[in-house]
């Protein structure tokens, strides 16, 4: 077993064992609390630039299942307490170590992920390095910044995904790092989906005369995406629009609201979200480090809030025929509590209210 280290930007060092890719890596260290769904986590492009640490202590026991991939593996590193060398599952096609090796993603195991999670909860997210030798100079770790990541993960060319069954609607999906299940949820509901690169302009989006526009999830600081925000300004009010996660944040910025970085984000599959339009609380899957400041909004109304910390989790813009959520209604590991939001998007495209 080969020793390795996780070195935090403040100089704390954790010794563990290497697995996965052989290179060293620097990234923003974040933790996710999902007890399952590590395949979807590893292949969610929203994690670009980040070293992901799983709080659940045993990871990899159902192996790697390519059918469940959400997109490309964009994490910079992976940290677990223990990984399973002998996965068992009828759909399994390989183990975690082989997957990380093939992706060139360095991993570290055998570290006290509970202690590390405590540190991050108290201090907030920080940068870290997975390395073979503890570096004498931590400047590259301290100065690392997640930037330019939407451009790095978006598709290069448009692609069309036909509706399952008869085509009822045509949706343009702006891909800021889209998870595949967004496309599937739309296809299932009779939508033909045209996936467009994040560089697509509003004119290009509207040129095909879509019934609705969907804005995807994606990595990095939302405020960095000034071009995309300008395009959303031009789209709002012209066509029904639904935004998820980064798409939600960009829409809020487009109407003149603001976003800010959360101390350690929401990442996991059991985040409670209260619907302010009723009495329900939904359990949701989440992966975000930034949030919309609900009080900053010149348009729209906060519809969902996180039951743990009261942060904004969704906004309705009835005058603009748009709505957006910070959580993931398409979550493939689940929970699927909020998949009805895709039905509501369809209702909006039909010309009705949600
Ligand atoms: N999953 C996402 O779309 C994440 C949005 C954004 N990058 C954030 O961290 O807040």
Instruction: Provide the CATH number for the domain around residue 185.
Output: 3.40.50.880
Residue 11 CB burial class (10 angstroms; 0-12, 13-18, ≥19) = exposed
* Ligand 1 atom having least distance to the Cα of 290: 10
The overall average pLDDT reported for the chain is 97
Q: Are residues 119 and 158 in the same domain?
A: no
Predicted TM-score (pTM) of this structure: 0.97
What is the domain-level CATH number for residue 26? 3.50.30.20
Domain that holds residue 201: 150-349
- Tell me how many degrees the CA angle 173-177-180 measures, rounded to the nearest 5: 65
Q: Compute the average pLDDT of residues 184-202.
A: 98
pLDDT at 238 over 80: yes
* Residue 71 Cβ contacting ligand 1 at under 6 Å: no
Rounded to the nearest angstrom, the distance between the alpha carbon of 220 and the centre of ligand 1 is 6
Distance, in Å, from the CA atom of 130 to the CA atom of 79, rounded to the nearest integer, reads 9
Rounded to the nearest angstrom, the distance between the alpha carbon of 125 and the centre of ligand 1 is 14
pLDDT in tens, 266-291: 999 999 999 999 999 999 999 999 99
Q: Are residues 129 and 249 in the same domain?
A: no
* Residue 30 Cβ contacting ligand 1 at under 6 Å: no
Q: Are residues 139 and 214 in the same domain?
A: no
- Tell me how many degrees the CA angle 315-317-320 measures, rounded to the nearest 5: 150
pLDDT at 354 over 80: no
* Residue 247 Cβ contacting ligand 1 at under 6 Å: no
- What CA dihedral angle connects 265, 266, 272 and 276, to 10 degrees? 50
Which residues line the annotated binding site?
A: 46, 218, 220, 246, 249, 287, 289-290
* End-of-domain residue from the set 146, 181, 201: 146
Position 352 scores a pLDDT of 75
* Ligand 1 atom having least distance to the Cα of 247: 3
Q: Compute the average pLDDT of residues 156-160.
A: 97
Is 354 part of a structural domain of the chain? no
Q: Which of 185, 353, 321, 335 is nearest to 272 (CA)?
A: 335
Rounded to the nearest angstrom, the distance between the alpha carbon of 311 and the centre of ligand 1 is 14
Distance, in Å, from the CA atom of 198 to the CA atom of 151, rounded to the nearest integer, reads 7
- What value of ipTM does the predicted structure carry? 0.97
* Residue 246 Cβ contacting ligand 1 at under 6 Å: yes
Q: Are residues 161 and 290 in the same domain?
A: yes
* Residue 245 Cβ contacting ligand 1 at under 6 Å: yes
The catalytic site residues sit at 245, 328, 330
Q: How confident is the model at residue 222 (pLDDT cuts 50, 70, 90)?
A: very high
**Residues near 345 by beta carbon (within 8 Å), at least 6 away in sequence:** 212, 214, 240, 242, 323, 354
Q: How confident is the model at residue 76 (pLDDT cuts 50, 70, 90)?
A: very high
* Residue 289 Cβ contacting ligand 1 at under 6 Å: yes
Structure tokens given for 269: 């599959």
Position 24 scores a pLDDT of 98
Burial profile 177-187: b = 16 or more Cβ within 10 angstroms, e = fewer: bbbbbbbbbbb
Distance, in Å, from the CA atom of 77 to the CA atom of 279, rounded to the nearest integer, reads 40
DSSP 163: P
Q: Are residues 203 and 113 in the same domain?
A: no
Which residues line the annotated binding site for L-glutamine?
A: 46, 218, 220, 246, 249, 287, 289-290
């Amino acid at each position: 077993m080969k020793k390795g280290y996780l070195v935090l930007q403040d100089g704390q060092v954790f010794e563990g064992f290497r697995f996965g890719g052989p290179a060293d890596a620097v990234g923003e260290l974040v933790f996710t609390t999902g007890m399952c769904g590590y395949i979807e986590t590893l292949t969610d492009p929203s994690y670009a630039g980040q070293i992901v640490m799983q709080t659940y202590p045993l990871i990899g026991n159902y192996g790697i299942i390519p059918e469940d991939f959400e997109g490309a593996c964009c994490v910079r590193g992976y940290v677990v307490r223990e990984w399973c060398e002998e996965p068992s599952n009828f759909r399994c096609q390989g183990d975690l170590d082989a997957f990380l090796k093939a992706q060139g993603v360095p991993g570290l195991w055998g570290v006290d992920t509970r202690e590390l999670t405590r540190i991050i909860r108290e201090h907030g997210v920080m940068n870290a390095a997975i390395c073979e030798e503890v570096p004498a100079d931590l400047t590259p770790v301290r100065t690392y910044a997640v930037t330019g990541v939407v451009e790095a993960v978006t598709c290069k060319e448009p692609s069309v995904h036909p509706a399952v069954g008869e085509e009822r609607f045509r949706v343009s999906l702006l891909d800021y790092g889209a998870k595949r299940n967004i496309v599937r949820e739309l296809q299932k509901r009779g939508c033909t989906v045209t996936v467009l690169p994040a560089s697509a302009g509003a004119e290009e989006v509207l040129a095909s005369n879509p019934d609705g526009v969907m804005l995807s999830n994606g990595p990095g600081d939302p405020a960095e995406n000034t071009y995309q925000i300008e395009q959303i300004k031009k789209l709002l009010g012209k066509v029904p629009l639904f935004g998820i996660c980064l798409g939600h944040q960009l829409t809020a910025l487009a109407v003149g609201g603001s976003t800010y970085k959360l101390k350690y984000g929401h990442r996991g599959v059991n985040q409670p979200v209260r619907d302010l339009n009723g009495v329900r609380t939904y359990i949701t899957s989440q992966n975000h480090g930034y949030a919309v400041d609900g009080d900053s909004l010149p348009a729209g109304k906060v519809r969902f809030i996180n039951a743990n910390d009261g942060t904004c989790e969704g906004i309705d813009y009835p005058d603009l025929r748009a709505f957006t959520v910070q959580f993931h209604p398409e979550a493939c590991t689940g929970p699927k509590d909020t998949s009805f939001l895709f039905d509501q998007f369809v209702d909006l495209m039909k010309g009705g209210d949600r």
